[in-house]
Amino acid sequence: MKIAVLSGGVGGARFLRGLLHHLDQTRPAGTTEVTVIANTGDDITLFGLRVCPDVDTILYTLGAGVEERAGWGRAQESFRLQAELTEYGLQPQWFRLGDLDLATHIARSQWLGQGLTLSAVTARLAARWGLPERGVTLLPMTDVPVETHVVVDDGERRAIHFQEWWVRHHASLPAEQFVVVGLDRATAAPGVLDAIRGADVVLLPPSNPVVSIGIILGVPGVRDALRGTPARVVGVSPIIGGAPVRGYADACLAALGVPATAEAVAGLYTDFLHTWLVDPTDADAAVPGVRTVAHGEELLMRDVAASARIAGHALALAEVGG
Amino acid sequence: MKIAVLSGGVGGARFLRGLLHHLDQTRPAGTTEVTVIANTGDDITLFGLRVCPDVDTILYTLGAGVEERAGWGRAQESFRLQAELTEYGLQPQWFRLGDLDLATHIARSQWLGQGLTLSAVTARLAARWGLPERGVTLLPMTDVPVETHVVVDDGERRAIHFQEWWVRHHASLPAEQFVVVGLDRATAAPGVLDAIRGADVVLLPPSNPVVSIGIILGVPGVRDALRGTPARVVGVSPIIGGAPVRGYADACLAALGVPATAEAVAGLYTDFLHTWLVDPTDADAAVPGVRTVAHGEELLMRDVAASARIAGHALALAEVGG
C-alpha cells in the first residue's frame, strides 16, 4: 500500500511517528510505502546555514532523536556554539540552534553548496535517521527555496520572516497577510506529484492549515494532484473545540478571515478532502461534501500510542471508506 | 613605536603573547602599535566553512581563549557537532573542529559570503578577542584565498592539502615540493606592505621557515618591502641544536634541500635579516651578513614569562642595534 502524507513540523512528525507505529503493529514489514511531502515554506538561512525546520523535526522525530518535550530540536542538546556566535555579535539569538542540530544545517548547506538539490540532500539526511529502512521516503515539497513572510502592522507596517513572527513574537503581532516568497516560481520536487497521484491513501496530519498544509497546497500542481488522485484523502483536524491543539493556527487563520473551528479548516480543503477526522467535541461539524467522523477519544497526540490510534483511525477511514 | 611581526600559528602566537606581556611591563600603555601579518597559506575549507588555522591560533592565544597544552584550538572545548557530521558521513575526521571553534568558522564564512574581505572579517574576529584594545592589528597576509599543497610520493605521486600532510600524516610522507595554489595571483592585504615599510622594528617569531614565514615571503611585494624597510629585521630561530622547537620544520626544510640548522634557516632570510637570535647551543652559527646573537637561556617559549624574555631580547636587538 502506498500512503502519501502532507506534513508540517511537530504535529505532522508526531502523526507520522504514530502512523509508523500503527503500521509496524498491523502490517507485515515491507508492505507499505509512506511518502512524506514536507513543508519547506518556513525554511530560513541563519548564520549562512540553510535551516529546514519541518524537515528536521520529521527526521529527528522518526529517527528517535527529537527533544520530546519541545517536539522539535535534538534530545540531549547543548548550545555552546550559538553562544559563541553571540560573542561575535551575530544575530539572531531568538532562534535557538543547538550544537547537534547545527551539524544537520552544516551538512545540508555543504551539500547544497556542492550543487545537490534539496531533495537529494534530504535523502542523505534521511538515510542517517533510518527512514528508508522504515519504508519512508521524505520529500521536500519543492527544491526551489521558498520562504514565508508575514505582513504585520504594529504601528509600522512591514514584512518579517515567518520564523521571526512565530518564534520571536509567538504570533502575537497581528498577521495581515502571508507572502510566500518564491512559491509562484516553485515546482513540486521530483516524486511529489506522482506520490499523490499514485497513492492508495492520502493523509493530512493535524498540521497548521495555513502555514504548513496551506503552503504545500500552494506549490503549483499539488492541489490539482489532490483533486485528481483516485486515493481517498483523509484529514485530521488541528482544531479542537475552537482552539488549536498546539501552535498558533488561530492567529494564522485570522489573517485569512477564517474562524478557528474544525469545520472552517475543513472548508479550506473541500475541493479534495473526502473525510475529516475530528475530536468528539466537534462531532457536529458539518462541511459540505466532506464526511466528518469523530474520533473515539480526545483527538490529542499525547504519546506514541495515542498518535498511533489517531493515524490508524484516519488510515481505516481512507481504506474502508463509507 | 611601530612593530611589525610576521607570524605563523602556535610559535608565532606564543611569541606575540610574550611580546605583549613584555610591552605591558616595560612601556606606557598606548605607545606601541603591533601589526601582525599572519600566514593564511594553510587555510582550508572544511564542511563548507572557511578555516584559517594560524589566524585563529593568534586570536585565541592573544585573547586568552586557547587550549594551552595543544597551543591551538579553544580551551574547554567539546566536539559534539563534528561527531554528528561523522554520523552524516562527512569527512574529514582527521581535522578536529570543536563546537566553540566552529563558531569562528561559521562567523567567518557568513561574513565572507556577504562579500566582506578576509581582512575585514579578521578585524571583526579580532575585536571580539580584544586585540585592538591591546594595540594589536591582525592582518591576513592576503585577502586572496591561498592554499598550500604538498607533493608527496609514497608509491603514488600526488598533491595533498598541507593540512592533510601536517595534521593527518604528521608530515611523515616525504614532501617533494610545496605548491602554494593562488600565491602567484595574490596581492598583499591592505596595510601589509605599509606596516613593513613604516615599521620601527620588524620581528620574525620562531615560526616555520617554509610553510609559515616562507609563504608570507612569497606574497608579491612582501620580500621587497622587507629589503627596503628602514626598520631593523630581527628573527628568532625556530631550530635549536639541529631540531625544530616544535612542529615538523625539519621535514619542510628537507623538501627545499635545506638543513635543519639555525644557520641554514637564517640563510633563507639573508637578503633582509639584520639579526638572528639563537639558542646558546647555536652560538657559533655564522651567517654571512647577519649578526647572530645567542639568547641568555634556552630559546624555548616554555611559558609566558620565557616568551616575554625572548620577545624582549629580540626587540632590544632591533632597537639598540649594534
CA angle A290, A148, B84 (to 5 degrees): 105
Contacts of B13 (CB under 8 A, 6+ apart): B7, B57, B58, B60, B61, B62, B66, B71
pLDDT of residue A322: 44
For B112, the grid coordinates are 565572507
Whether residues A128 and B100 touch (CB distance < 8 A) is answered with: no
User: CA of A91: which chain B residue's CA is closest?
Assistant: B107
Q: Which of A80, A108, A111 to mutate to test the interface with B (most CBs of B within 10 A)?
A: A80
> Which residues pair with residue A178 across a beta bridge?
A150
Q: Which sign, positive or negative, has the C-alpha torsion B241, B245, B251, B255?
A: negative
How far is the first Cα of chain A from the last one, in angstroms, to the nearest whole number?
Answer: 19
Q: Which of B80, B82, B116, B124 to mutate to test the interface with A (most CBs of A within 10 A)?
A: B80
For the CA atoms of B106, B111, B114, B117, the dihedral, rounded to the nearest 10 degrees, stands at -130
Q: Give burial (CB, 10 Å; 0-12/13-18/19+) of A209.
A: buried
Query: Which chain A residues touch B100 with a CB distance below 8 Å?
Result: 80-81, 84
CA nearest neighbour of A61 among A303, A250, A243: A303
pLDDT of residue A309: 98
Whether residues A103 and B84 touch (CB distance < 8 A) is answered with: yes
Question: Which of A47, A78, A89 has its CB closest to that of B80?
Answer: A78
Query: Which chain A residues touch B75 with a CB distance below 8 Å?
Result: none
Whether residues B49 and A90 touch (CB distance < 8 A) is answered with: no
Q: Are B265 and B274 in contact (CB under 8 A)?
A: no
Whether residues B106 and A80 touch (CB distance < 8 A) is answered with: no
Give the rounded percent of residues in chain A with a pLDDT score beyond 70.
Answer: 99
How far is the first Cα of chain B from the last one, in angstroms, to the nearest whole number?
Answer: 19
Q: If chain A, 322 residues long, is cut into consecutive pieces of 10 residues, what is the mean pLDDT of each piece?
A: 97 98 96 98 96 98 97 97 97 94 98 98 98 98 95 91 93 92 94 98 97 97 98 97 89 92 97 98 95 97 98 94 48
Give me the residues of A, 73-92, that contact B with CB < 8 A.
78, 80-82, 84-85, 87-90
Give me the residues of B, 31-60, that contact A with CB < 8 A.
47-49
List, in sequence order, the alpha helices (H) in A176-303.
Answer: 192-197, 213-218, 222-228, 249-256, 262-267
Residue A64 sits at the chain B interface (C-beta within 8 Å): no
Whether residues B88 and A103 touch (CB distance < 8 A) is answered with: yes
pLDDT of residue A321: 52
Cα–Cα distances in angstroms (integers) from residue A211 to residues A39, A140, A222, in the given order: 9, 15, 15
Q: Which of A76, A79, A81 to mutate to test the interface with B (most CBs of B within 10 A)?
A: A81
For A241, the grid coordinates are 473545540
Q: Are A99 and A77 in contact (CB under 8 A)?
A: yes
Q: Which residue is associated with the grid cell 591592505?
A: B190
Question: Which of B81, B102, B104 has its CB closest to that of A100?
Answer: B81
**DSSP string across B27-94:** S-TTS-EEEEEE--TT-EEETTEEE-HHHHHHHHHHTT-B-TTTSSSBTT---HHHHHHHHTT-S-SS
What 3-state class would DSSP assign to A80?
Answer: helix
pLDDT of residue B193: 98
pLDDT of residue A301: 97
| Distance (Å) from the alpha carbon of B94 to chain A's nearest alpha carbon | 17
Q: Are B10 and B247 in contact (CB under 8 A)?
A: yes
| Distance (Å) from the alpha carbon of A65 to chain B's nearest alpha carbon | 12
What 3-state class would DSSP assign to B164?
Answer: helix
Contacts of B9 (CB under 8 A, 6+ apart): B39, B42, B53, B54, B57, B58, B71, B72, B207, B212
| Distance (Å) from the alpha carbon of B93 to chain A's nearest alpha carbon | 14
pLDDT tens-digit readout, A275-314: 999 999 999 999 999 999 999 999 999 999 999 999 999 9
Query: Which chain A residues touch B48 with a CB distance below 8 Å?
Result: 106, 109-110, 113
pLDDT of residue A295: 98
- CATH superfamily name and code, B2-63+104-144+184-319: CofD-like domains (3.40.50.10680)
CA nearest neighbour of A157 among A173, A141, A144, A171: A173
pLDDT tens-digit readout, A110-165: 999 999 999 999 999 999 999 999 999 999 999 999 999 999 988 899 999 999 99
Distance CA A23, CA B161 (A): 50
Q: Are A66 and A75 in contact (CB under 8 A)?
A: yes
- Predicted confidence pLDDT, tens digits, chain B (322 residues): 999 999 999 999 999 999 999 999 999 999 999 999 999 999 999 999 999 999 999 999 999 999 999 999 999 999 999 999 999 999 999 999 999 999 999 999 999 999 999 999 999 999 999 999 999 999 999 999 999 999 998 889 999 999 999 999 999 999 999 999 999 899 999 999 999 999 999 999 999 999 999 999 999 999 999 999 999 999 999 999 989 988 899 999 998 999 999 999 999 999 999 999 999 999 999 999 999 999 999 999 999 999 999 999 999 999 965 4
pTM score, whole prediction? 0.94
Query: Which chain A residues touch B106 with a CB distance below 8 Å?
Result: 47-49, 81, 85, 106
For B243, the grid coordinates are 631540531
